[in-house]
Copies of this chain bind each other. A is one copy, B any other.
Amino acid sequence: MADLAVDGRIRAVIENVAPAVDCGRFAAKRIVGDRVVVEADCFADGHEALAARLLWRREAETGWRETPMSERGNDCWRGSFLVEAPGRYCYAVTAWVDAFLSWRRDLARREDPTDVQVAARIGATLIAAAAERAAGAERSALAERAQALRQDRPASELKALGLEESLALIAARHPDRRFATTSTALPLVVDIERARCGAWYELFPRSTATEPGRHGTFRDCEARLGHIAAMGFDVLYLPPVHPIGRTYRKGRNNALTATEDDVGSPWAIGTAEGGHNALHPQLGTLIDFRRLVAKAREHGLAIALDIAFQCSPDHPYVTAHPEWFRRRPDGSVQYAENPPKKYQNIYPFDFESADWRGLWGELKDIVHFWIGEGVSIFRVDNPHTKAFGFWEWAIAEIKRAHPETIFLAEAFTRPKVMHRLAKLGFTQSYTYFAWRNTKRELTDYFTELAHGPGRDYFRPNVWPNTPDILTEYLQFGGRPAFMARLVLAGTLAASYGIYGPAFELAERAPREPGSEEYLDSEKYQLRTWELDRADSLAAFIGRVNRARRENPALQSDASLRFVPVDNEQLIAYLKSVPKPENTVLAVVNLDPHHAQSGWVELDLDALGVDARAPYQMHELLTGARYLWSGPRNFVRLDPARAPAHLFVLRRRVRTERDFDYFL
């Protein structure tokens, strides 16, 4: 609110600085190497000229760096800065009514010689003042010009002196900013490249033994790395690797009682042998784990761990920190429940504990512990059932020392809750992709993800399956459904993942009809996977991941645009980046049972394609090359062969010779 205590001579206003997440309450997100474009509406009363600059700095720095902003029309100004390291930044906009620029603009329009002479004297005063703010050669140049403008010369000469471009450049560098307005500073988080793009592969280490019935180990995992890397994955995500509780342990297929040899759910964390900082003894030692991390790195794979902040009744915390759990009237610990269902194998933490500070600190230290062991990617289990304030504090604290850390929020809950988690600091977020199957659903959802209000903070990581999610589409669509969903996941989203062995082998038997749970789920038992089966999708997955690696267009989401096809079962979309120029068109048959065909319609003008000449579409999954011409071209996809095309658009066929070359 304006009042007499603020200097009333501040006349410029700044509105609508963007990006801004919830009015600056949360940070926008960008990636190392990005040019951060900032826009704001800047204007003042009256008709004088305005100047605006973008201020930015790393959060820990004290002084602002500055870069000019320019007007884009309709009082909207734009500037940008390059972020070269991960971490927190902030930015603001400053603007002022610029007397020198106003004077120069008006001088150009003045016609009356007397008027020009008066203006020259006004300008001399302004330029002399700019000289006072300058130093060295610039100071002398300005002082000299001020002098010259005060001399008795013909109007045309004075006008030329005042309008000279080089003078303007110098004077504009030393503006009178006494009455500048500066917006509030807005926060920005810059993450490493992997936060934008990556292919994730999830596996249960205990199911990596090649002999049926033997409990897999980290050493067995090592043996699997080559296979995973060959498919082109970037991240290997392991469900919890900690000791598994015995009390109320679940049996196979989520049975309420376990037999002696049931291995239990890895998410029931903690026994007398240790909790979240310990390793399940049957998997191996900390030495083995470190070795796995190192070997994975050699294969170009980063290990991601699961962070599941909950305890089995046997967890050491239950006795060491009874104050972190809610009590029932009989003094026992309150287990997880969703009445009438009870989950007696799980004790949730009580985030209303009087010792919430102790609890927060301990949980944060768990993440620090694993960072110390070489892990910097964490998939966080059910983050929406822990206090939002905890996550905001913990992620900020951890990323202050380790800005390269990535936190993926496993939340399939209400939209506002998922967005809150993304805003408060989660690097990436699970999505509703698994349940978006039709063309309309996929188009609406991915348009919202790429272009909606979340685009500055919500980074999708899409999964066609997880150990908890075997969708109806996969259950009934057979192998073609897996192929289609893989292409959709891997090309609609720069970050995607699969629950690996089950996906490779198109495992699709549900626990019972109507269930989204896997039959004989690895969550509750050991499995042995016949990875060299002839019908394995490994080679196909490898082709999709290679296309992702070789095409920068597929490595970010901002450019996604859906394209018309005159068949509701065919979906088509483009992604495109300018440097190096790369445009990919995906066409996917959503019907896993029948061949579908249709006409794909491209906006050739927008794509910079000469509509009069043919252009080449290079299909990445088969290597085939097609010649298209004009905006509408025919596509037919038979799910029995391949339910998708991934085309790279090769444009600029300028001469007959170029044209021949492609043939």
Contact B416 A41 (CB under 8 A): yes
Question: What chain B residues lie within 8 Å of A356 (beta carbons)?
Answer: 7-9
B111, B340, B387: the one contacting A8 at CB < 8 Å is B387
Contact A390 B8 (CB under 8 A): yes
> Which chain B residue lies CB-closest to A396?
B1
Contact B4 A393 (CB under 8 A): yes
Among listed A43-51, A536-544, A612-620, interface-contacting one = A43-51
Question: What chain B residues lie within 8 Å of A339 (beta carbons)?
Answer: 106-107, 109-111, 115
B-facing mask of A323-334, CB < 8 A → 1, else 0? 000001110000
Given contacts A9-B352, A115-B339, A351-B8, contact A74 B388 (CB under 8 A): no
Question: What chain B residues lie within 8 Å of A44 (beta carbons)?
Answer: 388
Answer whether residue A417 sits at the interface, using C-beta atoms and an 8 A cutoff.
yes
Given contacts A330-B118, A396-B1, contact A338 B47 (CB under 8 A): yes
Chain A positions 399-433 with a Cβ under 8 Å from a chain B Cβ: 414-417, 420, 424
> Which chain B residue lies CB-closest to A423?
B15
Given contacts A41-B416, A43-B416, A118-B330, contact A340 B110 (CB under 8 A): yes
Nearest chain B CB to A477 CB, angstrom units: 30
Contact B122 A329 (CB under 8 A): yes
Answer whether residue A112 sits at the interface, using C-beta atoms and an 8 A cutoff.
yes
Question: What chain B residues lie within 8 Å of A389 (beta carbons)?
Answer: 2, 6, 8, 10-11
B-facing mask of A508-520, CB < 8 A → 1, else 0? 0000000000000
Contact B328 A122 (CB under 8 A): yes
Chain A positions 111-135 with a Cβ under 8 Å from a chain B Cβ: 111-112, 115, 118, 121-122, 125
Answer whether residue A298 sits at the interface, using C-beta atoms and an 8 A cutoff.
no
A391 to B367, CA, bound (A): 53
> Which chain B residue lies CB-closest to A47?
B338
Nearest chain B CB to A490 CB, angstrom units: 30
Question: What chain B residues lie within 8 Å of A46 (beta carbons)?
Answer: 384-386
> Which chain B residue lies CB-closest to A75?
B416
Question: What chain B residues lie within 8 Å of A1 (beta carbons)?
Answer: 392-393, 396
Copies in the complex: 2
Question: What chain B residues lie within 8 Å of A329 (beta carbons)?
Answer: 118, 121-122, 125
Question: What chain B residues lie within 8 Å of A330 (beta carbons)?
Answer: 118
A43 to B420, CA, bound (A): 10
> Which chain B residue lies CB-closest to A6?
B389
A110 to B342, CA, bound (A): 10
> Which chain B residue lies CB-closest to A97?
B352
Question: What chain B residues lie within 8 Å of A417 (beta carbons)?
Answer: 43, 45, 75
Interface centre among A7, A338, A420 (most CB of B within 10 A): A420
Question: What chain B residues lie within 8 Å of A112 (beta carbons)?
Answer: 340
Question: What chain B residues lie within 8 Å of A414 (beta carbons)?
Answer: 43, 74-75
Answer whether residue A533 sits at the interface, using C-beta atoms and an 8 A cutoff.
no
Question: What chain B residues lie within 8 Å of A340 (beta carbons)?
Answer: 109-112, 115
A58 to B107, CA, bound (A): 52
B-facing mask of A318-361, CB < 8 A → 1, else 0? 00000000001110000001111010000000011100110010
Contact B45 A386 (CB under 8 A): yes
A388 to B638, CA, bound (A): 65
Given contacts A43-B416, A340-B115, contact A3 B352 (CB under 8 A): no
> Which chain B residue lies CB-closest to A356?
B8
A416 to B44, CA, bound (A): 10
Given contacts A45-B385, A329-B122, contact A11 B106 (CB under 8 A): no
B13, B23, B179: the one contacting A420 at CB < 8 Å is B13
B4, B385, B390: the one contacting A360 at CB < 8 Å is B4
Nearest chain B CB to A264 CB, angstrom units: 24
Chain A positions 1-32 with a Cβ under 8 Å from a chain B Cβ: 1-4, 6-11, 13, 15-16, 22-23
Nearest chain B CB to A125 CB, angstrom units: 8
Question: What chain B residues lie within 8 Å of A4 (beta carbons)?
Answer: 357, 360, 393
Given contacts A122-B329, A416-B43, contact A352 B110 (CB under 8 A): no
A115 to B337, CA, bound (A): 11
Contact B179 A352 (CB under 8 A): yes
A58 to B352, CA, bound (A): 35
> Which chain B residue lies CB-closest to A20?
B23
B328, B351, B416: the one contacting A11 at CB < 8 Å is B351
A75 to B389, CA, bound (A): 18
Chain A positions 512-567 with a Cβ under 8 Å from a chain B Cβ: none
A386 to B329, CA, bound (A): 69
A93 to B160, CA, bound (A): 61
A42 to B646, CA, bound (A): 43
B385, B388, B415: the one contacting A47 at CB < 8 Å is B385
Chain A positions 56-75 with a Cβ under 8 Å from a chain B Cβ: 74-75
> Which chain B residue lies CB-closest to A9?
B352
Nearest chain B CB to A50 CB, angstrom units: 12
A11 to B44, CA, bound (A): 42
Question: What chain B residues lie within 8 Å of A43 (beta carbons)?
Answer: 414, 416-417, 420
Contact A22 B11 (CB under 8 A): no
A393 to B1, CA, bound (A): 7
Contact B393 A11 (CB under 8 A): no
> Which chain B residue lies CB-closest to A110?
B339
Nearest chain B CB to A172 CB, angstrom units: 19
Contact B47 A360 (CB under 8 A): no
A386 to B44, CA, bound (A): 9
Interface centre among A389, A390, A392, A415 (most CB of B within 10 A): A389
Nearest chain B CB to A219 CB, angstrom units: 38
Question: What chain B residues lie within 8 Å of A337 (beta carbons)?
Answer: 106
A16 to B22, CA, bound (A): 8
Nearest chain B CB to A530 CB, angstrom units: 40
> Would you list 6 pairs from A and B whose C-beta atoms are within 8 A, ordered by A residue?
A6-B389, A45-B351, A45-B386, A74-B416, A75-B417, A179-B352
Pairs A-B, 7 closest by C-beta atoms? A23-B23, A2-B392, A109-B339, A2-B389, A121-B329, A8-B356, A2-B393
Q: A2-B396, A15-B416, A43-B416 are in contact. List 10 more A-B contacts (CB 8 A).
A: A1-B393, A2-B388, A11-B388, A15-B22, A41-B416, A45-B386, A46-B386, A75-B414, A111-B339, A121-B329
